[in-house]
Chains A and B, each alone.
Chain A
Amino acid sequence: MSDFKIAQRETSSVNVLELKGYLDAHTAPKLEEAFQDLLKTNRTKIVVNCKDLSYISSAGLGVFMAFIEDVRNKSGDIKLTNMSKKVYNVFDLLGFPLLYEIFKDESEAVRKFSDRSPLDNDRK
């Protein structure tokens, strides 16, 4: 339950967070800290790679909700990639694909940042 790690790296001026394990109320603070850090240093081009994310609870989803507005206000975005079917279903049920850009693979998301095409979903 409390097994959760975040690996951070940078590729073409985009910050990639690789999530591993369970993201729930217990471990959500770690992700909060990571976002806070990135925001503080104005690194707002963020891609979250969920390849090794085995579970996400409403608390985990709440973390994205909490930061997305501030990130977008600084001309950045949080894009999600590489979700397993199960995890994607959780996001999908709630309607996240309508609010966030979700890609099959990380490279697509990174490319999207350099495309600089306007995001067409509604901002919160």
Chain B
Amino acid sequence: MKLRRIIYLGASALLFLIVFVIDVMRKNVELYVGGLNLTRDILVIVAFALIYTYFDAKKVHLGLTPIKRLGLVMIYSVIVGLFCLAIVLIADDTFDTKDKTLIPLTYGQLFIATFLSIVLGIFAILVFRLVREFVLFKRKRGTKRNFLIFVGLMLAAAVSTIPLQHLERSVLTSILVGFAILFAVVNSFRLPWIVYLTKREKIFCLIYGFVLFFTFVGLNVALGAESSMIRRSLLYHSYPLKQFVFLTTIFGNIYFGMAFISTLFHLPTAGAFDRKSSEVTSLHNLSRLVTQVFDFNELVETVTSMTLQVCEAKSCWLEIIHYADEQERNTLATNEVFAYNGTIGNYIIQLAGRKNIEQGEINSLLLTGEKTLRDQVIEERKPIVVEDLAADNRFKAIRKTKSAIGSLVVVPLVSHAGMIGILYATKDTPYGFFKDDVDVISAFADQATIAIENSRLIKKSIERERLLREMTLAQEIQRKLLPQSLPCYSTMEIDAISTPAFEVGGDYYDVVELDGNKLGIVVGDVSGKGVSAAFYMSEVKGIFQSLSRLYPSPREFMIKANEALSGSIDKHSFVSLIYAVVDVVTGKLTLARAGHCPLLHLSGENVAYLRPGGMGLGLSNGTAFEHSMEESTIHLKPGDVCVFYTDGVTEARHGDDEFGYERLLQAVVASKQKSASAVKDDILHSVKAHADKEENDDDLTVVVVKWLGSQP
């Protein structure tokens, strides 16, 4: 690539040299070589074509902004203009005219002519290329065609001068020039780049355009005036070139003249255009924001800073409305007084973010009068504009604080689920917000609403997933804490079930095989529900499994268990337990009850609830517990049924009617002939049939022991 460029440059330099040599020779010797002039002209044309190609290959001036391009054209033209001026002032015109031919009388003149020609030629090429970019900016149908026609006419006009003598004119050339200028004018209407300049750039454009216009006028005079030495120098060196340069400068003149006028007319609307442009950009940015939902604080920061940009506001702030009860979102009472970060009625107002304003100022702005702005916007769900704060009687309070707020706009953030927030923006001057601004802020608020809503939903979703995972895990663990299997004896049947109310519950049952053919059975209920109850439950299991082996007497076990538990249980909580030790050979059952439901004992025709005294574990760590704890003993006969349960059974509700102790008794009596498993199932069935809810509200636990006695 580089090589090719060097070749172009080198070749064109060479050609210029050759032409120069020819000129020098002609000066000294009369050359009558046929076609020499033509050859010479062609060599010059080719030389300049090579320079053009060189610039193309080097990609000179590609990718510049319009205003930079304009600046460049101006710089080139000023330099060239000054250069020409200098030449004119320093050098004398030493051309002789003979038969419409120019003859340089001095070598100096010859040199100047060659040099000028090359400089102006390069200048024309560069300007031509730059102007081409302007004309073809945001081209429409026909733009390129028009431009090519112009170029074609320009080249034709140039080429048509080849057969002419230096000072000769021709009708053809004149016609072509005329048409070229016509199309120059046509192309000069292509000024769409002006609109897109920022206001600042437009002002520079005016300045550059002004300078350019006059510089080009000067150049045109230099190239057009009969007696101009510059014109004559160019004509001598190459008539086609002079034509090309001349037409380029004419085109430049017309084009930049039009640009100047157009910019002038665009100036008044330049500010508004800039604003619209930045609004669109901001909205674009904000719609990208909709994806930036993972960090709520970042989102609020972006929303507030963009609000300032979008409507050129002085300050702004964003309030988020939190609903204590999500279902009541749409039923907002408006005759309530608002306060910051406090709960009023069903919702809390949170100041999520603010820019250029203090909380104190916000308070005094909004806590004015019976019906504040906030009340109003919540009620009406439409934007509100306060045109002139100083003149508005509602804001007497803020005037006392010498606040600099002139006008204010309030916009509700309404999502499909209801109103989620309020956006405020202020300006220093009264009447600072036009309808346009309100529309833009509203559109902007809509985008922000979506983004905020998404952000919250995602956060909730993540939280829910996390909780679900934790619950599932806790559930798994808790399931494993209940006995995986129950021991089998020939003398008794035992079956049990425990279903937690929520994923994790506080009910507990367990069995432990003790020395001397004894089975310990415990049923318990930790106060409360959910994960915290489950934690205590697992502690109780630990205590049970270890202490039951050390203290075979149920009463003693309870006392020791209470000591163990009281150390770690919190003030709010307690555990009710019932613990029986059954001798699986003799059928002797010893029982202690720590605040739990009484044991149901069915024996033949008799049914009774056994309720030895004893308070719940964790209620007292003094002697009261010990004093209250009793121990009962019964002897099971074949056919006897013992039912341990938790209050989830007796308190299962149908409306206001609890299942109760009576119904439990009835159910057991009805099933007394059946196996322990059947009794358990029957009890469950009765409870479920009675309760009016699908799921149980409370943990449900039933343990059934049926004494068969020793088989003969």
Pick from A25, A54, A61, A98: contact of B574, CB below 8 A: A61
Q: Cβ of A62 and Cβ of B527 under 8 Å apart?
A: yes
Pick from A25, A93, A98, A122: contact of B528, CB below 8 A: A25
Contacts known (A25-B529, A62-B572, A93-B576); A124 close to B620, Cβ less than 8 A: yes
Distance A122 CA – B622 CA, assembled complex (angstroms): 7
For A61, give the chain B residue with the smallest CB separation.
B527
Query: What residues of A have a CB within 8 angstroms of the CB of B623 in the complex?
Result: 122
Query: What residues of B have a CB within 8 angstroms of the CB of A122 in the complex?
Result: 620, 622-624
Query: What residues of B have a CB within 8 angstroms of the CB of A59 in the complex?
Result: 527-528, 572
Contact bitstring B272-295, A, C-beta under 8 A = 1, else 0: 000000000000000000000000
Contacts known (A94-B595, A95-B614); A65 close to B528, Cβ less than 8 A: no
- Size class of the contact patch on chain B: 20 to 34
- Give the shortest distance, in Å, between A68 (CB) and chain B (any CB): 9
Contacts known (A25-B529, A95-B619, A99-B619); A62 close to B574, Cβ less than 8 A: yes
List CB contacts (< 8 Å) of A87-124 with chain B: 93-96, 98-99, 121-124
Top 6 closest pairs, chain A to chain B, by CB = A95-B615, A58-B527, A122-B624, A62-B572, A94-B595, A122-B622
- Give the shortest distance, in Å, between A93 (CB) and chain B (any CB): 6
Distance A17 CA – B611 CA, assembled complex (angstroms): 31
Distance A122 CA – B621 CA, assembled complex (angstroms): 9
For chain B, what secondary structure do more than half of its interface residues adopt (helix, strand, loop), or is it mixed? loop
Judged by a CB distance under 8 angstroms, whether A50 is at the interface is no
- Give the shortest distance, in Å, between B629 (CB) and chain A (any CB): 9
Q: Cβ of B628 and Cβ of A98 under 8 Å apart?
A: yes
Contact bitstring A27-58, B, C-beta under 8 A = 1, else 0: 00000000000000000000000000010001
For B626, give the chain A residue with the smallest CB separation.
A122
Judged by a CB distance under 8 angstroms, whether B596 is at the interface is yes
Judged by a CB distance under 8 angstroms, whether B44 is at the interface is no
- Give the shortest distance, in Å, between A41 (CB) and chain B (any CB): 21
List CB contacts (< 8 Å) of B618-671 with chain A: 619-624, 627-628, 656, 658
Judged by a CB distance under 8 angstroms, whether B597 is at the interface is yes
Contacts known (A65-B574, A122-B624); A58 close to B619, Cβ less than 8 A: no
Judged by a CB distance under 8 angstroms, whether B616 is at the interface is yes
Judged by a CB distance under 8 angstroms, whether B573 is at the interface is yes
List CB contacts (< 8 Å) of A62-94 with chain B: 62-63, 65-66, 69, 86, 93-94
- Give the shortest distance, in Å, between A74 (CB) and chain B (any CB): 16
Distance A121 CA – B627 CA, assembled complex (angstroms): 11
Distance A15 CA – B559 CA, assembled complex (angstroms): 36
Query: What residues of A have a CB within 8 angstroms of the CB of B595 in the complex?
Result: 93-95
For B571, give the chain A residue with the smallest CB separation.
A66
Contacts known (A62-B528, A93-B595); A121 close to B615, Cβ less than 8 A: no
Contact bitstring B557-576, A, C-beta under 8 A = 1, else 0: 00000000000000111101
For B622, give the chain A residue with the smallest CB separation.
A122
**Which residues of A are in contact with B by a Cβ distance under 8 Å?**
25, 54, 58-59, 61-63, 65-66, 69, 86, 93-96, 98-99, 121-124
Query: What residues of B have a CB within 8 angstroms of the CB of A58 in the complex?
Result: 525, 527-528, 574
For A97, give the chain B residue with the smallest CB separation.
B615
8 CB contacts below 8 A, A to B, read: A54-B656, A59-B527, A61-B527, A65-B572, A65-B573, A95-B613, A98-B628, A122-B622
Specify which of B529, B571, B621, B628 lies most central, judged by the most chain A CB atoms within 10 Å of its CB.
Answer: B571
Distance A25 CA – B476 CA, assembled complex (angstroms): 24
Q: Cβ of A98 and Cβ of B529 under 8 Å apart?
A: no
Contacts known (A25-B528, A59-B528); A95 close to B597, Cβ less than 8 A: no
List CB contacts (< 8 Å) of B444-473 with chain A: none
Distance A96 CA – B525 CA, assembled complex (angstroms): 16
- Give the shortest distance, in Å, between B253 (CB) and chain A (any CB): 86
For B611, give the chain A residue with the smallest CB separation.
A93
Query: What residues of A have a CB within 8 angstroms of the CB of B573 in the complex?
Result: 62, 65
Pick from B525, B572, B597, B624: contact of A98, CB below 8 A: B624
Contact bitstring B588-609, A, C-beta under 8 A = 1, else 0: 0000001111100000000000
For B616, give the chain A residue with the smallest CB separation.
A94
Query: What residues of B have a CB within 8 angstroms of the CB of A98 in the complex?
Result: 615, 620, 624, 627-628
Distance A117 CA – B571 CA, assembled complex (angstroms): 26
For A93, give the chain B residue with the smallest CB separation.
B595
Contacts known (A94-B615, A95-B628, A99-B620); A63 close to B597, Cβ less than 8 A: no
For B594, give the chain A residue with the smallest CB separation.
A95
Contact bitstring B359-400, A, C-beta under 8 A = 1, else 0: 000000000000000000000000000000000000000000
Q: Cβ of B571 and Cβ of A99 under 8 Å apart?
A: no
Distance A66 CA – B527 CA, assembled complex (angstroms): 13
Distance A108 CA – B466 CA, assembled complex (angstroms): 52
Query: What residues of B have a CB within 8 angstroms of the CB of A63 in the complex?
Result: 572
Distance A108 CA – B41 CA, assembled complex (angstroms): 131
Distance A61 CA – B384 CA, assembled complex (angstroms): 52
Q: Cβ of A99 and Cβ of B624 under 8 Å apart?
A: yes
Distance A62 CA – B569 CA, assembled complex (angstroms): 12
Contacts known (A62-B572, A63-B572); A124 close to B528, Cβ less than 8 A: no
- Give the shortest distance, in Å, between A71 (CB) and chain B (any CB): 12
For B575, give the chain A residue with the smallest CB separation.
A58
Query: What residues of B have a CB within 8 angstroms of the CB of A25 in the complex?
Result: 528-529
Query: What residues of A have a CB within 8 angstroms of the CB of B572 in the complex?
Result: 59, 62-63, 65-66
Distance A61 CA – B638 CA, assembled complex (angstroms): 40
